[in-house]
Every structure is written in C-alpha cells, then in structure tokens.
C-alpha cells in the first residue's frame, strides 16, 4: 500500500516555494509512472505542471483530481520551532510548509489513485492534474494544464480539488463553489497647494476619503441560497505625503470585493468606475480606476458528485459534510469551465502559518475517503 504520510513528508522536504518546482513533481512523476500512469510535464512560461492519466484516452468515465505542490514562503524561519522543510513528526502531527496547503492532499489522492488502479483496475480513466503555480499568479498552472488537455483531446467527467476544506473538524465541510474576487486601485490626481490656501488646490485626499467611505458603506446584496452576502474591504489609502502643511497632488486607495453569483467581475468593475466618476464630478479631482478580476463566482449545484463525496466521508468518518462556498479562491475556478468540480480536503487551521502542521491520522483518513470516492464513482 502506498503510504500517504511518507509521501507527504517527502513532498514537504521539496522546497517548492512558488515558482520553484523543488523536486516535488519529479517525485510524483516517478511514483505515478511506476504505477502505470502515463505522465507528461506541461510546463508553461517557467511554471512546472504535471499531467498523469491511467486508462484509455477519451474514455467515457474519467474521474479527475486536481492539486498543487507549490507553497508560500516560510516567512521568518527563526520563528519556526522546526525546520520548515524538515517534515518533522511529533505530537501526532507532521510539520512543515505545505503540510496542510496542500502537499498532504496531493499525497492522499496520489496514494489513493495508485492503490486503486493496482487493486481494482477501473472500467474508465483517472486523471491527475498537479500544478506548481496555485499560490502565485496562477496564469500558467491549472490554466495551462486545461489548455493543453483541450488541445490533446483529454477530458475529465468530474473533478475533485484536494484543497483543505474543513475549518475545524475533519469531514465537516466540502466546497461546492467559490466566491468571485475583484480588486480595484484608485488614483486621485488633484492640484498641490499650501494648506493655508485650500481654495487654490484640489485635494485628492478628500476625494479618496469620500469615495472609500461611500464604498465601505455599501450593502452589495443579501446573499443567495448557497452564498453569503458579498463583501467589500478597503485595503489601503496612501498619499506618500511626509508633511502636514502641503495638500498633495495625488492619493491612492485599493479595495477588494468577494462576490456571490448575483454579480460578475465586469458588473462590479463598472460599478466601481461609476462611483469614482461621481466623486470626481463632485470634487473636480480626476480619479482613474484599474481593476483585476481574479475569478468569477461559481457553483456546482448539489447533485451526483457532491453526493458521492458526502457518502464517502460519512462511511469513513461518520460525519456528513455541509456544503459551502466560503473562503478565498482556488483552482476550482478554472476547472469549473471544464467539468463539474467540488473541493474536499483536510482541516485548514494552520495553512500558511508559522509551524504549519497536519494531523497525521487525517492524512490516512483522507486517502481512505478518496479511495472510497473512486470506488463509488467506478462502481
């Protein structure tokens, strides 16, 4: 049997801080190739990606897993009580950067897939898509894999993303969708002047203050059946002005909106530009707006895929996971354009933290759950 704990430890020891591959995909390709998976590196613009398939190409029933081996930086290494890339095991936990997010998830679905095809070769195919660019810009990771799959005639019928999905207790939650994310940067340009003669200046700080106050007070919606209300957060206001007797020439601000399926990134970008235009008209201060849409809101309606995952969790843990669309973005936002997708993984409590760690028993539980999902799908 493939040990998911040992595989997690081996992956944690690979220093794969985005965009470095660190040996993680090389390790996985060797393991999967040895189990009969057809593997191909799908690197793009320096981003490392791995595609692996067991079974016939284009088979009608193809279950997919998606995940990433890249990790965020360790931060202050001196603040860690262990080597961030040492994969120490103590107190029932495996410690290290990426232990939760998400080398344990990758190890669990790789181990489950390898053992499944060896023990009960399915009437169908299994595809694993593993990227090294989820924690970075994400433009050449899962997106590149899906682009290559479309060109090569490869397709998944359904996909599970192995991101940590449970807030506090193993098995309590799966993600059936995600909120969208749009960021906006505002630059107000006025006329610099002496504070004693404000009538000779056009104060961009006042304009930005009016704009951000108006945005912060907005109620975007009341939520939907599967989504909480959309939120807008002010993230910075900056003038770079070191003195108090000068009205500066410019001032900047930024906001981020996490939105539900009542909106699109484009509709919210238009709203932000309209609000900025209103304030510019009221104050006479020019305000420019730049926006970036990181992902659209999406939902995989409860159905066969979510029921399959819920049944596997209940059989293994005696817990029925709730459906959620909370949290940040994940690569499921790209997979949802390819096939139905849900997310289920470990407890997310320490992801990205100093002394990131995963309960060892949970890694084994996750492998067992993924094995039950495969068995149920190909039954």
Q: Which residues have a catalytic role annotated?
A: 70, 134
DSSP SS3 for 258: strand
Closest C-alpha to 175, from 120, 226, 224, 140: 226
Closest C-alpha to 188, from 209, 206, 204, 210: 204
Question: Dihedral angle at the C-alpha atoms of 48, 53, 56, 61, nearest 10 degrees?
Answer: -110
What length does the chain have? 379
Cα Rg of the chain, angstroms: 24
Cα–chain-centroid distance for residue 175?
A: 11
DSSP SS3 for 33: helix
Q: What is the 3-state secondary structure (H, E, C) of 95-155?
A: ECCCHHHHHHHHHHHHHHHHHHHHHCCCCCEEEEEEECCCCCCCCCCHHHHHHHHHHHCCC
- Give, as one character, the DSSP assignment of residue 229: P
């Amino acid at each position: 049997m493939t040990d998911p704990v040992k595989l997690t430890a081996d992956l944690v020891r690979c220093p794969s801080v985005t965009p470095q591959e660190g040996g993680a995909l090389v390790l996985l390709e060797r393991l999967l190739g040895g189990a009969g998976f057809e593997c191909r590196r799908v690197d793009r613009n320096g981003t490392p990606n791995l595609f692996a398939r067991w079974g016939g190409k284009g088979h009608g029933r193809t279950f997919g897993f998606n995940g990433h081996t890249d990790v965020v930086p360790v931060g202050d290494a001196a603040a860690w009580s262990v080597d961030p890339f040492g994969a120490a095991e103590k107190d029932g936990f495996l410690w290290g950067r990426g232990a939760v997010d998400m080398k344990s998830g990758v190890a669990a679905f790789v181990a489950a897939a390898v053992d499944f095809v060896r023990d009960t070769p399915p009437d169908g195919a299994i595809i694993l898509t593993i990227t090294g660019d989820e924690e970075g810009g994400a433009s050449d990771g899962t997106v590149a894999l899906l682009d290559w799959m479309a060109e090569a005639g490869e397709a998944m019928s359904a996909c599970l993303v192995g991101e940590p999905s449970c807030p506090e207790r193993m098995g309590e939650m799966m993600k059936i969708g995600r909120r969208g994310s749009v960021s906006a940067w505002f630059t107000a340009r006025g006329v610099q002047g002496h504070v004693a003669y404000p009538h000779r200046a056009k104060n961009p700080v006042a304009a930005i203050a009016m704009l951000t106050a108006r945005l912060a007070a907005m109620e975007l919606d009341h939520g939907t059946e599967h989504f909480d209300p959309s939120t807008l957060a002010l993230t910075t206001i900056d003038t770079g002005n070191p003195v108090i007797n000068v009205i500066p020439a410019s001032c900047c601000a930024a906001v981020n909106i996490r939105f539900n399926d009542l909106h699109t990134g484009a509709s919210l970008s238009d709203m932000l530009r309209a609000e900025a235009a209103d304030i510019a008209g009221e104050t006479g201060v020019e305000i420019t707006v730049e926006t970036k849409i990181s992902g659209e809101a999406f939902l995989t309606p409860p159905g066969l895929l979510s029921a399959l995952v819920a049944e596997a969790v209940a059989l293994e843990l005696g817990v029925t996971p709730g459906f959620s669309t909370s949290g940040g973005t994940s690569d499921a936002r790209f997979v949802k354009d390819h096939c139905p997708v849900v997310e289920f993984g470990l407890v997310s409590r320490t992801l990205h933290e100093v002394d990131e760690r995963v309960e060892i028993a949970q890694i084994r539980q996750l492998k067992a759950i993924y094995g039950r999902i495969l068995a149920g799908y190909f039954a």
